[in-house]
């Protein structure tokens, strides 16, 4: 064979290999791969088992604070509020039980999500897109367009609003029904949680007559009237953005070489995560990576970048990541909540004074989109770009 022909054949093989990788890790597993492709292999210094990593199945796994929301309307209300404040300040995460969403609803959502990833590739490919604005998007890795190294994850991202529901997958046959019901219930739970968050920050004012919103920038209009400000904020929560992500982490033949998701913090106010019984989620706690033990019938709740900004740094948006394993597939369903996309996020005026000046710039969804489309996900520290003075934190 002439050298030129050999070179062309090599290029063809690389092109074909790249095309297979872009179809997702579930597809590659179905093809029977026994080694992690180079596109998924991290540099040695970025691999999961570095000097500050706790092994995923050792005795140092982390039991997050477990908060029983059945106490919300009982004699232990004040204790619950204090527990939420403590968890948000010291962990950035907690697990909530007795949250009001039935185990049947949660189980069915997990089941229908798993069955979606078991569909033939041709069916899943209908939703493949690299457009982050798509109402429905099936993809792989974290930021498939910019990532130098891919992650061992396939995902289905779903924008949650009535205009988008008709575009959600119709297969499996009950996916849309189960998904929409789950999204609506988690939206109501988010609103309840934010009332608790406001109270824990000392901002929980008694419900007053709703006032019309005159300015999209929360806190910019009628600053002297706190009741109106927080009525506006509640209205923004009701009308807020919601994104649901169903994640699939197939068994990985060499889990020590890659991540399911790289270290990152979440954009938004709160994320409500349901994970199956397979461990994998880790948070950075006291400068060590520790694995969060799955707790039956609970939601893992974590503070997002927007809540850290809104709380002016009191509550922490904590770095977390996902490990994979060689034995079991893992399914999780994340519901990410924030204010409407057009709303500017800024520290609450009620948390700013001479002793505690404003620590973050105003930010918008446009700022975030610009950031994620220009950076590699392993360096995802969007919150750092919004800090006014890093020495405060």
Average pLDDT, the chain: 84
Q: pLDDT band at 215, cuts 50/70/90? A: very low
Residue 298 has pLDDT above 70, yes or no: yes
Q: pLDDT band at 237, cuts 50/70/90? A: confident
At residue 13, the pLDDT reads 42
Q: Could you read off the pLDDT of 146-156 as tens digits, one per residue?
A: 778 899 999 99
The mean pLDDT of 384-390, rounded to a whole number, is 75
Q: Is 96 exposed, middle or buried (0-12, 13-18, 19+ CB in 10 A)?
A: buried
Residue 61 has pLDDT above 80, yes or no: no
Domain boundaries along the sequence of the chain: 23-50+65-202+236-386
Is 295 or 56 the better-scoring residue by pLDDT? 295
Distance from C-alpha of 291 to C-alpha of 313, rounded to nearest angstrom: 25
Q: Could you read off the pLDDT of 149-200 as tens digits, one per residue?
A: 899 999 999 999 999 999 999 999 999 999 999 999 999 999 999 999 999 9
The answer to whether domain 23-50+65-202+236-386 has CATH 3.40.50.450 is no
Residue 229 has pLDDT above 70, yes or no: no
């Amino acid at each position: 064979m002439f050298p030129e022909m050999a070179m062309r054949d090599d290029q063809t093989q690389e092109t074909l290999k790249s095309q297979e990788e872009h179809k997702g890790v579930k597809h590659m597993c179905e093809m029977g791969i026994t080694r992690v492709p180079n596109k998924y292999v991290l540099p040695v210094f970025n691999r999961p088992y570095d000097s500050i990593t706790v092994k995923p199945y050792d005795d140092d796994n982390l039991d997050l604070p477990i908060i029983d929301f059945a106490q919300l309307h009982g004699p232990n209300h004040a204790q619950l509020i204090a527990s939420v404040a403590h968890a948000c300040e010291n962990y950035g995460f907690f697990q909530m039980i007795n949250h009001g969403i039935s185990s049947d609803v949660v189980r069915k959502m997990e089941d229908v999500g798993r069955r979606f990833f078991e569909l033939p590739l041709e069916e899943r490919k209908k939703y493949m897109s690299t457009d982050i604005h798509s109402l429905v998007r099936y993809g792989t890795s974290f930021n498939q367009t910019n990532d130098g190294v891919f992650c061992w994850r396939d995902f289905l991202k779903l924008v949650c609003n009535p205009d988008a529901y008709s575009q959600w997958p119709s297969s499996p046959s009950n996916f849309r029904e189960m998904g929409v019901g789950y999204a609506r219930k988690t939206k109501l739970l988010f609103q309840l949680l934010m009332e608790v968050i406001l109270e824990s920050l000392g901002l929980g004012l008694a419900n007053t007559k709703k006032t019309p919103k005159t300015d999209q920038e929360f806190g910019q209009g009628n600053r002297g009237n706190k009741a109106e400000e927080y009525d506006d904020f509640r209205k923004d929560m009701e009308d807020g953005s919601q994104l649901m992500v169903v994640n699939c982490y197939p068994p990985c033949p060499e889990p020590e070489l890659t991540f399911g998701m790289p270290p990152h913090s979440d954009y938004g106010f709160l994320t409500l995560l349901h994970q199956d019984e397979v461990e994998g989620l880790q948070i950075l706690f006291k400068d060590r990576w520790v694995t969060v033990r799955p707790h039956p019938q609970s939601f893992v709740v974590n503070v997002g970048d927007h809540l850290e900004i809104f709380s002016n740094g009191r509550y922490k948006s904590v770095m977390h990541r996902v490990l994979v394993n060689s034995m079991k597939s893992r399914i999780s369903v994340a519901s990410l909540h924030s204010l409407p996309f057009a709303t500017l996020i800024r520290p609450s005026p009620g948390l700013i004074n001479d002793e505690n000046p404003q620590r973050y710039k105003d930010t918008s969804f446009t700022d975030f989109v610009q950031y994620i489309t220009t950076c590699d996900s392993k360096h995802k520290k969007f919150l750092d770009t919004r800090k006014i003075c890093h020495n405060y934190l």
